[in-house]
Amino acid sequence: MNLLKDFKNPVLARKLSAAIAETVGDRPFSIMEVCGGQTHTIYKYRLREMLPPNLRLVSGPGCPVCVTPIEYIDKAVFLALEKGASIYTFGDLVRVPGTMMSLEKAQAEGADVQPVYSPFQSLQAAKANPERHVVFLGIGFETTLPGVGLVIREAQRSGVENFSVLLSAKRVPPVLDALLSSGKAEIDGFITPGHVTSIIGTKAYDALCETYRVPMVVGGFEPLDLLGAVHLLAGELAGGGTRNLNAYSRASSKEGNVKAQQVMEEVFEEKDDELRGLGVIPKAGYGIRESFAEFDADRRFDIVTNSREPKGCICGEILCGIKAPEDCPLFGAICTPDAPVGSCMVSNEGACNAAYLFRD
């Protein structure tokens, strides 16, 4: 199988597209794709054009950079400029504007900011530069968290003292719970995030389907993965079903990645947490356990910030699926990837970024 081509097969795509149209008929439905990676594929391949007009796709809150509170960026900038820490981060984060500046601008002010692909690179850097304090910016949903947990565990085992993690880790199920219980966004079914689910397992959504009587289908990130997920959801929606199904079985299972779950359990604990635009949600985040406290940058440093959200940005409503990027008065005028106001415009996975990048 050619993984690069086969999941973009236009013949199969047209078949799925026809089957979806036939299944949903004339009734209007709204489906939320939870993950920003899925949003990106939907825009990139214009999948909306392959769906009937009465089937609406709504972008969800699963963009790690987008839901990270602005205060987090301010803390990272503070650590870099005021405490002289070396900041190691995934690339997406460097252009997100903070209250005063982004990490990219802090770099121009002399901060040491290094984009990395894996949290392990930051630990290696700490070992290689014992005179510097290295802070890894641990943001993301359940997908990225096991790697961060492993690095913290390894840092403790090898007795590294000049390393810590500034954590802002989120959990998908409680966020969906909050969205559903608020009733703000009228969503009939969810495409759940493939990579998150490969860690936590499809079982993590069972209770949500049951409580809110809503169908969910795990979706991957290739065009056919997503059309396949929409097709399964369409079947549920048309028949009034509320099952929790899997259209990404090549990576996700019912139980998920048990080893990864064990690492997360060992290093992190659930806590009520703030998501940008969504406010504080019960159990929606992770903190670092007391037994690893020395690697928690928040505990280790006295961090002072004075954070303010930018005016006029509606990232929050976009992340909840209440509004679309094009509904924002700043979109494309004041807020662009060159000069982003909100985080949804910066990240590759942000709905505003995808809508801008792939606009006509």
Partner 1 sequence: MNEKIILGHGSGGRMTRDLVRDVFCRHLGDFGPQSMDDGAVLPCEKGELVFTTDSYVVSPLEFPGGDIGTLAVCGTVNDLAVMGARPLWLSLGVILEAGLEIDALERIVKSIAAKAREAGVKIVCGDTKVVEKGKGDGIFINTAGIGVLEHPLTPETIEPGDQIIVSGTVGDHGMALLTLRKGFPLKSDLKSDCAPLNGMISQCLDEAGVKWMRDATRGGVATILNELSEGRPWGVLLEENDIPLSDAVAGVSELLGLDPLYSANEGKVIFVVPRHQAENALKGLKKSAYGKKAAVIGLIVDDFPGKTVLHTQMGTLRTLGILASDPLPRIC
Positions that interact with partner 1 (CB under 8 A):
3-5, 8, 10, 13-14, 37, 40, 44-47, 49-50, 64-65, 90-92, 94-95, 115-118, 121, 124, 139-141, 143-144, 195, 223, 336-338, 347-349, 357-360
91 vs 279, which CB is nearer to partner 1? 91
Tell me if 203 sits within 8 A of 254, measured CB to CB. Answer: yes
Shortest distance, position 45 Cβ to partner 1, whole Å: 5
What are the Cα distances from residue 85, in Å, to 78, 110, 165?
9, 11, 11
Tell me if 294 sits within 8 A of 184, measured CB to CB. Answer: no
117 vs 290, which CB is nearer to partner 1? 117
Residue in 147, 120, 144, 150 with CA at minimum distance from that of residue 134: 120
Shortest distance, position 182 Cβ to partner 1, whole Å: 26
Shortest distance, position 119 Cβ to partner 1, whole Å: 11
Shortest distance, position 301 Cβ to partner 1, whole Å: 24
63 vs 237, which CB is nearer to partner 1? 63
Shortest distance, position 47 Cβ to partner 1, whole Å: 8
Shortest distance, position 183 Cβ to partner 1, whole Å: 29
Structure tokens at 92: 């997406």
Residue type, 174: P
Only one residue has tokens 């406010």, namely 279
Shortest distance, position 185 Cβ to partner 1, whole Å: 23
* Beta strands, E only, the chain: 29-35, 55-62, 86-90, 112-116, 134-140, 163-170, 189-193, 216-219, 244-246, 268-275, 279-288
215 vs 228, which CB is nearer to partner 1? 228
Only one residue has tokens 């530069």, namely 129
142 vs 236, which CB is nearer to partner 1? 142
By the 10 Å C-beta count (0-12 exposed, 13-18 middle, 19+ buried), 290 is classed as exposed
Residue in 68, 288, 39, 275 with CA at minimum distance from that of residue 178: 275
37 vs 342, which CB is nearer to partner 1? 37
4 vs 304, which CB is nearer to partner 1? 4
194 vs 235, which CB is nearer to partner 1? 194
Phi, psi of 347 (to 5 degrees): -70, 145
CA pair distance 286, 267, nearest whole angstrom: 10
Contacts of 37 (CB under 8 A, 6+ apart): 62, 193, 194, 195, 221, 349
Shortest distance, position 278 Cβ to partner 1, whole Å: 19
CA pair distance 23, 263, nearest whole angstrom: 42
